[in-house]
Amino acid sequence: MRQIVLDTETTGLDPDDGHRLVEIAGVEIANRQVLTAPENQIHLYVNPGRDSDPEALDVHGLTTEFLSQYPPVEDVIDQIIAFVSGAEVIIHNAPFDTKFLDAEFVRFGYKPFTDYCGKITDSLVYARELHPGKRNNLDALCDRYGISNEHRVLHGALLDSELLADVWLAMTRGQESLLMSFDGDRNAESEGIEVARIDTSGLMVIKASEQELAAHQAYLDKLADSNDAPPLWYEIEPKTTS
């Protein structure tokens, strides 16, 4: 399934109060890379036919005069559908954006926006599960994962979707420790991920010599003496006596 990271800007906080979209942007992720070709991105300003609330204007800076040169949202809905159709759409605080998108789509006789997506993933929910009790807005996540957002003076849908894509890749990069789980292959297969198999039947097995075993035993005994406790190795392989 294609993955798209999406963001919107609006005239206010709630479409039920008559607020509208003013900007929508998205970038596609494939093979854990953000795709930069024009066909893999969408960025649209739309004329909402009304002013933005002062608080919203302070966030995105898109004035009524600036937006008046762009088409209304009903003229670009088909472009949006073509871009997201069947994809997993990743949005930070998804209920906010999808409520606006659903409202705009239904207003002009379309099915809700979410019906055209293969899946909606809320990256804010994922971040809260990963970092409970911490700030998980986009700025905080950029700082946590070392992603530069110094150029983010105002919120913009394209810039925010690009930053969120980098954050999402950082949050989902997977195992970083040297510990391995042998259940991983089965979990990967259940998620439809192809797992490479290695045939170990032809590998040479080299056993430790008596001298090496004695040196190992002497090292464990030294650890036990210095720590006044047996090493953890004895829980796996009980000490042998000669």
> Catalytic residue positions?
155
Going by C-alpha positions, the residue among 5, 4, 9, 2 that lies closest to residue 97 is 9
End-to-end Cα separation, the chain, in angstroms: 60
DSSP sequence for 156-174: -HHHHHHHHHHHHHHHT--
- What are the backbone dihedrals phi and psi of residue 203, each rounded to the nearest 5 degrees, phi first? -80, 140
Q: Do residues 9 and 55 make contact, with C-beta atoms less than 8 angstroms apart?
A: no
Q: Helix, strand or coil for residue 25? A: strand
Read off the DSSP letter of residue 68. T
**How far is Cα 148 from Cα 172, in angstroms, rounded to an integer?**
18
For 184-215, give the DSSP string: HHHHHHHTT--------TTPPP-PPPHHHHHH
Report CA Rg, the chain: 27
